[in-house]
Structure 1
Amino acid sequence: MRRAGARRGDPAARHQMLRVRGRSVAWVPPLVLLLAIAAVDWNTTGEFRVISWIVLVPGIAAAICGVWGTAVMSVLAVLTYVVVDSAWPGEYQAGWPDFVLVLVGGILATLACVVRVRGELRMLHIRDVADTTRRTVLRPLPPHWGGLEHAAVYLSSDVEARVGGDFYDIQPGPHGTRVLVGDVQGKGLGAVEAAAALLGTFREAGYHEADLGTVAERLEIRMLRHRRRNAALGPDRGTPAPARGAPDRPLDGDRFATAALVGFPADDPGAVDVLLFGHEPPLLVGPGGVRPVPPGDGLPLGLGELAVDGPPSVRRVPLAPGETLLLTTDGVTEARDGDGEFYPLAADVARAVAADPRTAEPRRLVAFVRDRTLRHCGGRLVDDTTVFAVRRDGEQEERGEQGEGG
């Protein structure tokens, strides 16, 4: 699983920018400023004293340096002030008032740096916990797994939370390899919990059940059980409340999930079985062009009781050699540009494949869709985004190998 690049406000990214060959150079800007102020003050007339500006040095150090670096810069600022100011005749000296200003400014800057560093450490810890949670739900997959070649990228719309309801997995088994990609309504730990419940059921049912429709029924039942359990627990079941001003999140009793369930049958390498639960139809991308999978007739998981015509039917779609199945979540299909236009995924991919047929390869295709989506929306994602591309592994097909397990 890959993420988007570091964003503004990320302390890890900021510290990385202030390192050269693995060593921190955060001390350079405040030191240069200190020397510049001292030089300007030394070379100007007595009527234009700027030595008191040296109070800016600890403030800048507090923003980019560590606690000890800020403390050192504060001491250097005080010492430099004393040396430079004492070199002037008595009538031109700034004197004690500005000395107290520089001294107090250094102390306050050091204290502010302590608060900043503690906050950054707490944010990094929360991010690590969120990343661990995501890796637990979205388990790492080998590039070639279950007779399939695949690639995936996950982009979080919230750089601080980094937790959403998108999910995907590949489950090999004796009846072929199954793929599940979906998006749980809402964000936060409640959405991750629902995604984990669905993935756990998929990993068991996808391996044991011979019929893909039975796997779908198991997923629907699991979502209903999850909703009923959480509805019985009530809203105060230990989940943190949303921040003030944040949009209301769905109650767990009302939560649902859109999903695409795909089966690669072991007895028919020239086809895929597809079940859609309120999910955008996948695209089949190959050297010959792009074609959409027929839209499904299923309601999102958790809303199956509202279906008039019963559960959705399994559709078998022909699969040409080398074709890649591209599945995305709402973050791609709902990405808008400055004019409010949605990202034209199918047309954009078709142009790219026409220009370079190798774009249909899973890794290239995922990277292309990721970059083009971010460019289209200017990096402002309105929802968590998953791009997942999968196709039959040609090398394993030639060897007649079909992976099992997981």
Structure 2
Amino acid sequence: MNLPPPSPDALAQSERLVARLRDLIAREGGWISFATYMGEALYAPGLGYYSGGSRKFGPGGDFITAPELTPLFGQAVAGQLVEIMAQSAPQLIEAGAGTGLLAADLLLELEHRGALPERYAILEVSGELRSRQFDTLAEKVPHLASRVCWLDTLPEHFSGALIANEVLDVMPVHLVAWRPEGLFERGVAMDDAGRFVWADVPASGRVAEAAAALERPLPSTGEYVSELNLASRAWIGEWAARLDKGALLLVDYGYPRAEYYLDSRSTGTLLCYYRHRAHPDPFLWPGLNDITAFVDFTAMAEAGFDAGLDVLGYTSQATLLLNCGVLECLARRAPEDSPDYIRASRAVQRLTGPHEMGELFKVIALGRGIDGPLLGFRRGDRLHTL
């Protein structure tokens, strides 16, 4: 892998996390699940990728999200959030708000539409990102910043709209290996030199139950490896227990189950990101890499349904944005022959192009007490594929 080396300070921070992980593995008898490893690598206080202070988003970080590309993403999504709030309550929560750009874009667009929420709450686990979000909002929307608050935990009760863009993919996943001799959970151990290595144990408990429910046949030779995102299912269940009326709008890259567990995808979807480069090694510089897995949207729909929510729609990001008027937002931005319009139209192409983010990213809406069909799913709904 041709990756730029981290700074000495970054390497020192990673080594502190490595020491923490080694101690954890030793305390657990020599083996931890990959979900535990991923949770530590991303969220260990002061050391994990999302809690350790490194720059993550934008050209100077490790990846670029849709709001970093253009405010047109937020302007279009605002149309869907307006509809949800109109049927529930003028409250909006964003889970995992990144740099705060989506919050700023949404607030400006909702103000333009005369549909500002009474409160815009942000649920953010990273103290460093909270600080960046505060600064972004103070710079971009100082007259609206007083409407924003930060949550430490999920609210006891909530009515309104929730938006989560690229949140599900960074929830810790369990790794499962299907082999001729049975189901195994792939976790992390240490070799004699103290290096992290893969280690498999017979699958048990919730992992074994969830893997068996997929009804994948055991291979006659070799192995088939993939992920189970039990954390995201539990997260949806927690929101369902708190949602009185409203909807969750979840945007991420992923597939319906029939595509997620294709025979050809025999090594899973796990990827790491470092300085805009993707690589497959989650043991490289723990705490300095983002670790992600694609989302099984059928599992998300099942989690919502099992928890008493209605599955209100499922479609591609491109379809949602086009249904919500992203082209109309583009048209009002600037004259068509202006450099600003040309730059913005290129960003829209990235957001909606079938070979870029438009098809890779999907959107699911889960709710209670909301009449459909929702704006973003009125054309091109793919519920039948889940």
What TM-score does the superposition give when structure 2 sets the normalisation length? 0.21
| Structure whose residues are more often helix by fraction | 1
Structure number with the higher strand fraction is: 2
Q: TM-score, normalised by structure 1?
A: 0.21
Higher relative contact order (CA 8 A, sep 6+): 2
